[in-house]
Amino acid sequence: MMNSLKRRLSYSRSRLREIFDRTDGHCHICHGKLSFERYAKFGEQGSWEVEHSKPKAKGGTDRLTNLYPACITCNRSKGTRSTRSIRARFGFTRAPYSKAKKRRIKKRNRRFGAVLGGALGVCWGATGAAILIVVGLLLGNFLGPRK
C-alpha cells in the first residue's frame, strides 16, 4: 500500500497537468469528468489517479504515451486487464480527445463544410455560394468531436 501511495505522489504538478490534459480532463476509461485539484483524493467527486494503459506488471512504462488520467474507481477495477476491454464495457473504443485535438478536428470540419457549402452553392450563383459557405462553416463548427 505504501509503495503505491508513494508512486502516486511521485509525479510533479507539471507532469500531472500533461497527463490530465491528454484527455481534456476526462477519465480515459469511462469518459467521466475529472477535477485536476482532486488528484489522489479517494472518495471525492472527480477524483483521479494516473493510470498505465499497459500495466507496469505487463511491461508498461512511465512514458507519457502510456499514462492517462482515470477515475480512481476505474483505475483500481481495471487491474492488469487491457484498456480496450475495460473501455468496451462503457461503449468506448478510444480515450477522449485533448483540447488541441478537438480544435484540429473542428478546424478540419469547418474547412470541409465551407468547401462543400461553396461547391453546392455554385448552383445558385455567388450569393448562394457565399450563404452556403457560411452555413458549411457553422455546421462544421457545430459537428465537432463528442469528447
Give residue 4's pLDDT: 47
Greatest Cα-to-Cα distance within the chain, rounded to the nearest angstrom: 71
Q: Angle between the 125-142 and 99-121 helix axes, to the nearest 10 degrees?
A: 160
Phi-psi region at 46: left, alpha or beta (left = phi > 0; alpha = psi -120 to 50): left
Give residue-wise pLDDT tens across range 81-127: 889 889 999 999 999 999 999 989 888 888 888 888 888 777 888 88
Q: How confident is the model at residue 50 (pLDDT cuts 50, 70, 90)?
A: very high
Phi then psi for 33, rounded to 5 degrees?
Answer: -75, 135
Give residue 144's pLDDT: 67
Q: Which of 83, 105, 78, 79 is CA-nearest to residue 93?
A: 83
Residue with the three cell numbers 452555413: 135
CA distances to 43, 111, 124, 140, 142 from 121, in Å: 55, 15, 5, 16, 20
Size of the chain, expressed as the number of residues it contains: 147
Give residue 9's pLDDT: 52
Give residue-wise pLDDT tens across range 28-45: 999 999 999 999 999 999
Question: 65: which 3 cell numbers?
Answer: 504515451
Q: Return the CATH number of the domain spanning residue range 2-96.
A: 1.10.30
| 137 against 1, higher pLDDT | 137
Give residue 68's pLDDT: 96
Give residue-wise pLDDT tens across range 136-146: 878 777 776 76
